[in-house]
Amino acid sequence: MHEAAFGKLGIDADYIVVELEPSAFRKTMRQASQLLLAGFNVTVPYKETVMKYLDHISAEAKAIGAVNTVYRQGKRWVGTNTDMPGFLMTLKRDGAFRPSRKKAVVLGAGGAARALVYGLSLEGIREVLLTDCFPEKAEKIVREMRKIFPKIHYQAVKADIPEVKGAIQKADVIINATPLGLKAKDPLVIPKDWIPQAGSRKKLLMDLIYNPAVTPFLKAAKEKGHRTLNGLGMLLYQGVLAFEQWTKQKAPVAVMRQALLTALKGTGK
């Protein structure tokens, strides 16, 4: 999508993938001032590690505890997190959902979940239940969020307990932030009967996975009559925001979306 955007705007630039072992990554970042780059993305497992090598980190990235986008500001390297605002953009634009005063259930407590909970909290969510098979991970996120947003009701629980089912019944939005659904043989992230029939009150069920476009989680939600949203929009908008930081130009969103769709179609999924 970045290559397509460069082409559309006539920018002489390339977006390349560089895979580095941990020792090579640390060596590269120690020499960051010499890098002939306008900016770069950082992905797992370096989203936290990169922070100590940067000159400045945005408030959002500090709160989330992860950087995924780095850009130049004069001679300084600045780290930010475009996952969180990218998530909010797709939630509002593609999902037509406004978090203010609503209730959310987030399945999974990894780095992505932390960004989601922070974004929902910024938008005035009323309640968040965070669940993970390792509940201590969820508890850590909740402790940190309570310090920043003391008025929001947070709860951290173990996955697959009846309390999660009860919260899903009452929630306005349920988000899968686990990798369950990436593989065809993966079990459903929650039992199907935990998802109530929509009736007159449709919930939004979102999956951060974008390939396949319809995961078992989203398929179950559709069968129950609810609205669904996959992770393609979050991928797109985090890329749009990164592109605009690097180039200081307005990103051609439609061109970038089409490039993503074309690439995904090419995978045969």
CA dihedral 198, 158, 88, 70 (to 10 degrees): -160
Q: How many domains does the chain have?
A: 2
- Are residues 226 and 165 located together in one domain of the fold? yes
Question: Do 128 and 23 share a structural domain?
Answer: no
CA 213 – CA 40 distance, rounded (Å): 27
106 and 8 belong to one structural domain: no
Predicted pLDDT of residue 41: 97
Same domain for 64 and 104, yes or no, is no
- CATH at residue 41: 3.40.50.10860
pLDDT tens readout for residues 134-191 = 999 999 999 999 999 999 999 999 999 999 999 999 999 999 999 999 998 999 999 9
Are 98 and 223 found together in one domain? yes
Shared domain for 95 and 152, answered yes or no, is yes
What CATH number does residue 137 fall under? 3.40.50.720
Domain co-membership, 163 together with 237:
no
Angstrom distance (rounded) from CA 122 to CA 99: 9
Q: Is the pLDDT of residue 101 over 70?
A: yes
- pLDDT at residue 114, rounded to an integer: 94
pLDDT of 269 > 80? The answer is no
In terms of domains, do 152 and 47 share one?
A: no
Q: Which domain covers residue 112, as residue numbers?
A: 84-230
Q: Determine what percent of the chain is predicted with pLDDT higher than 90.
A: 92
* pTM, to two decimals: 0.94
Regarding whether 139 and 32 lie in a shared domain, the answer is: no
CA–CA separation, 16 and 178 (whole Å): 27
Write out pLDDT tens, residues 162-171.
Answer: 999 999 999 9
Structure tokens at 185: 């043989």
Q: Which of 27, 47, 52, 165 is catalytic?
A: 47
Q: How confident is the model at residue 267 (pLDDT cuts 50, 70, 90)?
A: low
Tell me whether residue 47 is one of the annotated catalytic residues.
yes
In a shared domain, residues 97 and 213: yes
Residue 213 half-sphere exposure toward CB, CA atoms < 13 A: 9
168 with 103, same domain: the answer is yes
153 and 45 in a single domain? The answer is: no
Q: Is 103 helix (H, G, I), strand (E, B) or coil?
A: strand
